[in-house]
Structures are given as C-alpha cells and as structure tokens.
Structure 1
C-alpha cells in the first residue's frame, strides 16, 4: 500500500473512484499499526467543471439558462453558482444527477442591461477539503440591450452667426449607430452620422427648430432624443414690401401692414420720416387726404439688436380737392375798392389750369380770362393757387364768381357770391369825426369840473400837510426779502413773522463694512452683528481661538456652501475669492471674501468640533441700477385710456421706485399710469430709484403725445350777445401734435349759409407756441347782420376739431333809424354844442389864469401877521392816531386827544390877529 499525502491526489477527477476503509482498529502499545487506502480508475490530471449557455450573448428582456457539469467524481461533486462572491440558491438553480455526472443549471428569468458584464462562477467541491481542493469555472455574462438617449441640454440658444453644438449621449450594447435628422426638412449632411455632437458652424435664423438624434444597435426599440435650437437674430422686414404704394384721395380705409421677423419677437411701428410722428402697425388713416402723402418708415425693434427700418413712399392720387368747395362764400365790397378772390387746389396729377366763371344776378355765365382780368396762377408740388383781382369794383360786378378745375379723376369748384355796395356818404364820415371830437371835449370838461371839486386844481397855498398814517402794528423788521433766509417755501404775513420751510431730510450712509468677532478660549463667545459690504469690495470675517490643540479642526461654512477649510489649508480652489488668512499658532482663522458678489450674502459659520457654532449675517449691498433698456423717449396717443411706463430697478436692499415730473414736485408710484392721456401730459419724467445709504438714481424719459387736435370748449356752444357798434373778439385755442397748418374760420348766418373768413377781409391773428395754436377773430363795429354762428375748425392727419360760437347782435335800446335830413340836423346841433363847449373851456382857462376863479380862502383884509400855533397831532408830534385837520375860519381845530395821552407840542403864535390873546390862552390850556 502506498502512502498518500493530503496534496498528492485530487479526488474531483472524472473516472477516479476511491475506497477508504475507516476501521476502529486497536494496536498494542509499542507495536506497529497499518491503515489501508486503495483507489480504482485513478486519472492522471484534475479537471474543473464545464460551463455551457454563455457562448451566445443574451438579450435584455429574455430568459437565459447556464449549465455547469461535473462528472467522474466519487463521491459526486457538489456544484454551486456564485454571482461574484454571493452564492445563488433557490428557484433560480436546478440540479440534475445521472450516473457519474452532476449538472447544475442557473436560470436568469429576465435579463436587463444591468446584467451585462456580470461575473458568474461555478464551483465544484468534495466533502474532503483536507484531501482535495475546489475547482472553479467562470464566465462574464454578455447582454445585448437597446440604446437609451440622454440629452444634457434640451434647448440651445445662440445668436445668429455663432457655432451651435447639439449633444445626445447614447448608452447601448452593442454600440449604436447615431443619425441626426430634422423633422419636416431635408436630410442633414452625412458628416454628422455616428457623432454624438451635431455641430452647426455658423447658424442662421433658418436653422432654428427641432432636431432629433436616433440611436439604433439592432435591439429594439430604437431610441430618439430631441434638441430644440433657438437662434436669436435682429429684426428682418419682409423684403416683399414695396418701396412705393398708391392711395386714393378720400379713401376711407387705407392701411399698410409691415411684416417683421426676428427673435425675440420685434415691436413694429410706423413713423413719418424725419419727424416725430408715430403710429402703431398696421399704418391706418381714416380718410386719405393729400397731406398724407410722404415717406413713412416701418421700424422693427428687438432688445439687444439695432433698429431695422424700411422706407415706403405713400403716393396719393385722386380728383382735385379745393378748400371751401362745399360752402358758398359771400364776400362784400364797396364801389371803388379793389377785390381779390382766391382758390387753392390740391391734386395729383395737377390740372392744367383753374378756370374762372362769372355768373350775374340773372344766371348768365361768362368765362373770365387773363386778357380782361388779372388772374395769377402758381404751382407748388401738389398745390395750385389762382387769384382773381378786380380793381375799382362797381355795382355791375355783383354776382357769383366760380373757380373750377378738372383732372383725370374728377372735378372741383368753389362758388363765391360777391355783393357790391354803394360807398358810404362823406356826410356820415364827417358826422363820425365830429361826434368823436365832441366826445373828447366833453370828457375833458367833465374832468376839469371833477378836478376842481376834488381840489386837484385851485388848491389853497395854506393847506396844512396831511400827516402820514401810523405804521401798522403788524409790520416788523423781520422776514424781509433781504433777511438771508434760504430755501423758503412760502412767506406768510402773520403778525410780521415768516414761516420757513422745514429743513430737508438727510440721506443715510453706510458707516461700516465687513464682519468681525473674536473668540477667547476653547469655550468662546462671538457677537454676531448685521454687517453690510459694498458690492465688489472686500469683506473680512474674524475668528480666533486660544489654547487650540493640534487635533482641533476649524471650519468655515457659508453660502454658497464652502468646502471645509481646515487649519492646514489656506485656499479652496473651487472658491478662489474666499481665502483663509491668519496665524495657526495664534489660533486665528479669518475668512477673506474678495470682490464680494450678491450671492456672497447670507449666514457664515465658524465652527470647531465639540463646540456650538457661531453665526453672523453678512449683507452685500448694491446701489440702485435702472435697467438700461428703458427708452429715452416713448410715444403716447392723445385720449389713450391705458398708458403706463414700468421702471425696472435692481439693487440691494430692494430700491423704492417712484416717478416724478422733471423740475417739479409731482410724484407717482411705479408703474407710471395715466387714466387718460392729454396733451398736458407731454414732458420729461424721471424714474427715481432710492435705497437707504445710496444717492438717488434717475433716468429721464420724454413722453411725446401725438393725436388729433383738442380744442378748448369744442363740445359746447358759446352764446355771446353784444350791441351794435361794439368790437367783438372771438378766440380758439388748439393743442395738437403735429400742429395743423391753420385754423379756419367759418360764418354761418341765421339762414344756414356758410362763408369762409380769411385775412383779406377780417382781422385774424394766429400764433403758435410748442404744441399750442391760437387764432383770434376780431369784428369791429358789429352790426345786426353780423349775427350768426362763428365756427373755428382745424385738422391734422389724426382727425379734426371745431368749436361753435353763436353771436347775437342787438340794437341799442334807444337807437332809431335816421334819415339823411335828420343826420344833417344832428350834425349842425353837434357842431353848435362843440363850439359852446370849446368856448366854455377857454373861458375857464382864462378865468383861472386871471384869478377870477380858484380865489384864495383868505380875504385881503385878513392879516396873518401873528404866528398861528400848530395844532396837536402834527407830523413831528409823535402822535400815531391823527386822522384829519380841518380848516375853520383861519384856525385849526384839532381832533380831541385820545385818553391817557398828553400833547407834547407847543402852541404857535399868530401875530396881527384881533383874537390872538384868546387863541394863545386856549393853546396854553390845551397843553
């Protein structure tokens, strides 16, 4: 029998069977014992178990069965499947045994992509580990699974002309083929097939849209990813818009629509070239007139891009338009005068000429030409003017004068009915001059009489000077305009005092920056104080310890969360602006924040293990900043019911935003709103951003109001009543932008006939100032036939406005019609009265000069040799209550003195008077 050691034979070899006879055998002490072990069919080499089923890769979602077989062992080997180091048991393992053979099947019910690369091991072992060792066979599981697509950036935004990269990340086994497509468009270049990144070197706005990446590796289903590309590009006006369009005069529905593309979506408006007139898109005119013709610009505006414009010339064609063609003008003239009649025509094309026709009072018409009349015609652009001058008009010239013209679109005419009157008689003129002279002389005489009665003339030389009244008690020497008081809001007369304006409030300022707190000993106390640092400046947070052991670790934590900065590290590379400075030996760990950002604000913590952390709040402040995208000028439409301006202001602390009208104290909340836009809204407004500790930030915005004319009192009818002979002044004030070319005056008589009033026959004065236009019509010496309605009207491209004023002229109460004989009689009477009055005036002047009137009050026999005493209350007596001095028979009678006061002045001595002694004694008694 051979001696067998533990490692010489492996009992797990196919075909080897052994038999060991374990016998309970006894041997005598000191004798020899023999143990027997015999083998049958012993093989030369040991073989590991055989694996089957992993030769072909499995597919995700399918079942896979693996088999492990061991044969020839005696006793049969024990097989075990391992997933890595964990044994697989239970229903997933099925064992089969046959003669000399052991098979163990591993069933994977449903493969997943996570099973790919799984390491599976089959181990064969015998129950005699001391004799044989286990044999392993292993395999790496390969699983095919369909691709999955991940889009890291599902939406990409670039500016036109910049490179765009679209990315799809694909996971699959086996590797998938990637193809990029654009739904609804042609195929993309093949250069991008198989690439995870689809690159567009130079984007255009046509490249914007949805892109798909498709991944296919033969395992269904196919994976699809979607990326949206947004391309920002400046406003682009549709090039199909014509440079010139035609509109028909009197068209009631004319519009121009401007199509503008861009990203972001542009704001589209219209403006008249080289003006400040703006309209919304589409451009509309309720009624086309010839003044509409011109060049208009379509304007496209997008944030971040310059404006885009397109010029369109609007050409207005149509029949002639003649001013006042719908009304009949009724001019009048006196015989012998020169009369000028005019017609102004607008047309495109201009007619060749303007014809003049005269229709007499019997209806017969005669065409007027340059041979017999002075007709002047001028042309300017689309305007044509013709004037007819009639010199030395006579009664036979009465009738209707018609100007008419025609072009290819139609005709226009205007009718002016002329009424010629006899010249006013010279007697009337003489009468008027005489009456005026009489009126002047009469007024002069009345003034002389009143002056004599009031003492303005013929004044006595001995009249005493009237003392100045006492100074009122409420007048003091304080609060005058030279008192040196500045910034007075109002001056109030209140017992001689001035009420000053309260002093202005002082601005607050930040006095400290940074944060500092110290720690004494291991058990420390930090004082957290709310601290502010200016944006962009440096903040320092202090933290110091005493008796710090080498094992203690100091950490700084803050927003955003910083990596723990320990005593052995100075700078965190992720946060280069945040540094720890100080001395470890002294236990100082100061956090230095350079170039502070807004996100650096928040709570910071200095902590050490075993102690309660200490916190403090840091605030990063930023002065108010108004969004620079706000326009310097905006346009509002007159009568707009919802106009607002919103001012965006950033800053920390959050700024207070208000609006004010520049150079005024008018304030509004943000946004600035007006319930109804009027022309007085136009002006410069300031957006004001205010934060404590910072100066105010302002932005000027000019609000330009455009629209149809607005006329004061246009909704009401003014009723005026005057007497004949008076002068009447009628006025109209119009606010408009743009200002109309003129204000027209029309007179409608009581029979409804209307007549245009012009500067040739009426006193019409027109003035302009900014957006305001005023026209004044003056009617001198009005008569009853001037009664009627006076209408002022005006028009700009946005609309019209008019005002109606009804004038009623009445006869004076005692005014009667007089004949020519009565005029003569009154003329002689008036001349006689004038002569009498003139003689009376001359007599008064001579009498005054000779002394016949205005004689002195003192008779020649009244001797004033004695000096007369001055009564109490004279200008040097310091008396405040003196009211009057009366002259009575050569003496002065003083007003009784007030109570509790004494006269301080001495009496006057009048020499040569009979009663001087008695007067002197009276004066002495009064003293």
Structure 2
C-alpha cells in the first residue's frame, strides 16, 4: 500500500478501551478501540500485531468490512474515497498504525486490520476492530432574545469530547477577541443589539467550524431621525420625500405627524406638488412590541413667489388736498419680498414697501399699483384710486352773449369752478349788496350791474371776480322801435313800389 507523510499534530479522542485479539501467537491490538473525531480532523488508529516465528509478512492492509468481494477482502487503500486520505504509518513486523485525514460523517464506521504471511493459511484479521465516530459541532442558541437578557450559547457534538478541549467562538465569521467561554459555553450577559449575528464554534487546533446559528436580539426603537429629499431649497410645486430612519428589532411601525396632527404612515412620507400650506414641523413615531420613540422635528420651509399682493391706504377715509398719505404694499411670499415698485398709470413713481406723499395735491390723484418681487417671481397688485378732495378754485363767471341787455331778453351768467367734489352750491351776488340775488350754476341778469358768484363744497368756498351787465343798449332799442312805428306806413309804400318795379322789369 502507498505510505504518505502524516500531517502534524493529529487529534486523538477518548480512549475508551484497549482490546486485544489473539489465538496462540496470532494477534491484533487496537489502542484505542473507540475513537470520536471532529469532522474534517485527522484521526490516528494505533495498532500492533503479532504472528508466529518462521512467518514472513507478505501483505498488510486495512478494511471496513468482513465480507469478501470476488473472493477477497477489499483493501481500504484502494477505495477511491480513502486512497487520497489514508496513510499507513506501520511496518511489516508489528506496527500497523494508520492515519485518516479530513474525516467526514460518512467515515463513521468500524475498521479492521489484516495481514498475510508466506505460509498457507498464514493470515489474520483483527476482528475486534476500531470503532470510529465522526461528529459535527452544533451551536445551541435561542432564536430570539430581548436586549438586556442573559444568553448562553453551547457548542455541542454527538459524542463527548475531551475535557482538555478548548473552544473558539466566532461571530459573523470573525473570532471573538474577548474570551467569555466556560467549557463549551459562551455566556452573553446583558445582551446588546451589537451581539446580534451569526455564531459558530470550533475546537482549538482544528480547522472544522460548526454551521452558523443566527442570534436575533430584539430591542425597542432607538436613534430615530428624519431625512428630507431634496435637501436644498424647497419651492412650491416640488415633490418632497421624508424618510424615517429607525433602528429597531423587529422593524417598527412608522407614523407621521405635522405638529400634533397625524398625516400618514409608513417609513416614507411623500408630498407631491408641495404648497405653502405644507410648511411646518414634521416628526415620525417608531413603534414595535418593545416600545416607541419620536424623532426630533424637522421643518419644511416652502418657498413661493409673491401672491395676494394688495395696497393699503393709510387713513382710508376722505383724502383732502394738503394731507399726508401713505401707500403700503402688502405681499405674501417666501422669502419675504424686498423689492417693490410703485406705478401710477404706466409710470414708475417710487420703490420700497411704503410710498409716502406729503401734502398731497390734486395732481396726485389717479390709479396706483405696486409690484412685489422675490427670487422666485413677481406679481402686481390690483389698482387703487387716490381721489384727492379740494375746495373750489379758479372760480369765474362766463356770460352768454355780449353782456348787453336787449328789450325782452336777459343775459345768462354761468359760474365756472374747479373743485372736488364739484361745487353744487352756488350763490349769486350783485356787487355792493349783501344778499344773494340768485343761486345755482346759471343766473339770468334782467338788469344792468356788476355780478359775481360764490362756489361752495364741503371743503371750502371761493368767489369769482365781478362781471358788468349794461342796460344802455336797451334804451336805444326803445327809441329805434318808436321811430319805426312813426314812419312805418311810408316805409311800407316804398317797399311796395320797389317790388312793383321789379315785376315790370321782368
């Protein structure tokens, strides 16, 4: 059989008993006769044999069955499953020790040594054999524990290992640097969330590591926070996502609040086409079976262009010439608008939130509006009208005709004035007389003299200059009518003669 070099430091477990088989001078002894080995370890099966003198050893080999195949016992070194792992360490005199490496669970079996001499019937089998049990390490752990509990993990196998065995523990495939083992136990006192993970164990000096077992440490929500996307400036119309970040086990139920009002649930709270009404303080609440916790508040500050722009007139009552008037541009925007323009008609007349007019005059009457601007847009207010009141001024009298009174007729005088509101109270006076001779916008003069009007509104009054109405033409006209009456018949005869002459000439 093929002899190979043995790997260093073979592990031999538990000597249970030493049993020898002999008949006269024929014998095979196994030490130990029962071996418990870890999966993937190397096992040494120690063996000695004797035979009568005068015999020469021709062949030695190991086998795992006492049944012949094709008239022969199968040589283990010729079995493909063993040939690369089996090393014969003995000789052809009395040592029959072998070494089996990388043992598997399938290697659990009883093994026998057989030797053959040069004499007829000079062969022997050690039928007591070596019983090999291959075990796998298993971690025994509770599936779920709560933070603060004490937990014991056990590294177990199907057969007892030596008391001298030293156990190594791994979490997430990394060896635990702090030794907290007691024999084959790992004690976690006051377990923390950081203790969650995949645990496995091994025996010092051996490469085999047990299958991993998940330790699940449950705990109430902690480290609750809210992230905002996008993280920059939020403008009205944007889509905004709030994400509740919660560390808890099991995963927590999430609820969202704006102020004290519940607005949604789920880890993500999305606002599509955000408006200024969505501005405010938000927080999330994380809750599982072990407790609940609120996040700190985050503020959504939604930017938007000016809107609801209006003009407020200080002293919204009657504005009288000479008053001081202030126009205030009221604007709803975020950030607040700092750029304002004032327009009268189509002309820019000022800037700033407030437009002041000291000692206002009628020339300041008209329609005003303001324009509010921030970095997100601009908007005009509706127009407001400044209607400046003032007493009558530039009062004058307008005469119809020449101002000469003709018999049977009169001269009409009109009182012209500039005032706001229009002067509807007009009085007429004849110069040097204290009593009014008439009222109303127009006055009919029936006699000669100097006349003037006085216009009144609620803000004051003013009199016009006097105009002269003469009666001289009236006297001359009477004389002219008398002469026509005296010579009327003569004139008529002359007129009739001229008419007859005209007819004859035709």
Give the TM-score normalised by structure 2: 0.52
Change over 3 Å in CA distance of 1:232–1:7 after alignment to 2:
farther
Change over 3 Å in CA distance of 1:90–1:161 after alignment to 2:
closer
Task: State the match for 2:231 in structure 1.
Answer: 155
Q: 2:427 & 2:271 partners in 1: Cα distance?
A: 72
**Aligned partners of 1:151 and 1:169 also within 8 Å:** yes
Aligned-partner SS, 1:187: strand
Aligned-partner SS, 2:192: coil
User: Cα deviations across residues 637-679 of structure 1 (Å, max 9, x unaligned)?
Assistant: xxxxxxxxxxxxxxxxxxxxxxxxxxxxxxxxxxxxxxxxxxx
Change over 3 Å in CA distance of 1:211–1:251 after alignment to 2:
farther
Q: How does 1:612-631 map to 2 (within 5 A)?
A: none
2:116 is the counterpart of 1:116: no
Task: State the match for 2:262 in structure 1.
Answer: 187
2:144 is aligned, of 47, 56, 59, to 56
1:107 is aligned, of 180, 188, 192, to 188
Q: 1:172 & 1:234 partners in 2: Cα distance?
A: 42
Task: State the match for 2:251 in structure 1.
Answer: 175
1:141 is aligned, of 205, 208, 215, to 215
Aligned-partner SS, 1:258: strand
Q: 2:222 & 2:289 partners in 1: Cα distance?
A: 9
Q: 2:272 & 2:31 partners in 1: Cα distance?
A: 74
Q: How does 1:453-852 map to 2 (within 5 A)?
A: none
Change over 3 Å in CA distance of 1:52–1:367 after alignment to 2:
same
1:134 Cα deviation (Å)?
6.3
Q: 1:269 & 1:358 partners in 2: Cα distance?
A: 54
Could you list the runs of 4 or more consecutive aligned residues of structure 1 that deviate by over 6 angstroms after TM superposition? 4-8, 20-23, 27-32, 34-38, 239-242, 340-343, 415-418
Change over 3 Å in CA distance of 1:51–1:74 after alignment to 2:
closer
Task: State the match for 2:344 in structure 1.
Answer: 272
1:88 Cα deviation (Å)?
3.9
User: Cα deviations across residues 472-529 of structure 1 (Å, max 9, x unaligned)?
Assistant: xxxxxxxxxxxxxxxxxxxxxxxxxxxxxxxxxxxxxxxxxxxxxxxxxxxxxxxxxx
Task: State the match for 2:334 in structure 1.
Answer: 263
Q: 2:388 & 2:423 partners in 1: Cα distance?
A: 15
Aligned-partner SS, 2:277: helix
2:295 is the counterpart of 1:224: yes
RMSD over aligned CA atoms reads 5.3
Change over 3 Å in CA distance of 1:168–1:200 after alignment to 2:
same
**Aligned partners of 1:209 and 1:228 also within 8 Å:** yes
Change over 3 Å in CA distance of 1:141–1:215 after alignment to 2:
same
Q: 2:193 & 2:437 partners in 1: Cα distance?
A: 109
Task: State the match for 1:16 in structure 2.
Answer: none
2:311 is the counterpart of 1:204: no
2:462 is the counterpart of 1:413: yes
Task: State the match for 1:92 in structure 2.
Answer: 180
1:90 Cα deviation (Å)?
5.2
Task: State the match for 1:367 in structure 2.
Answer: 436
Q: 1:298 & 1:80 partners in 2: Cα distance?
A: 85
Task: State the match for 1:66 in structure 2.
Answer: 153
Aligned-partner SS, 1:235: strand
2:163 is the counterpart of 1:76: yes
**Aligned partners of 1:323 and 1:343 also within 8 Å:** no
Q: Which structure is higher in strand share?
A: 2
Task: State the match for 2:75 in structure 1.
Answer: none
Q: 2:54 & 2:177 partners in 1: Cα distance?
A: 51
Change over 3 Å in CA distance of 1:8–1:304 after alignment to 2:
farther
Structure label with greater radius of gyration:
2
**Aligned partners of 2:140 and 2:155 also within 8 Å:** yes
1:314 Cα deviation (Å)?
3.0
Q: 1:240 & 1:274 partners in 2: Cα distance?
A: 17
Q: 2:275 & 2:143 partners in 1: Cα distance?
A: 52
1:152 Cα deviation (Å)?
6.1
Change over 3 Å in CA distance of 1:205–1:35 after alignment to 2:
closer
**Aligned partners of 1:77 and 1:124 also within 8 Å:** no
1:121 Cα deviation (Å)?
1.8
Larger relative contact order (C-alpha < 8 A, sep ≥ 6)? 2
1:260 Cα deviation (Å)?
0.9
Task: State the match for 1:344 in structure 2.
Answer: 417
2:35 is the counterpart of 1:10: yes
Q: 1:183 & 1:221 partners in 2: Cα distance?
A: 18
2:319 is aligned, of 206, 225, 248, to 248
**Aligned partners of 1:237 and 1:308 also within 8 Å:** no
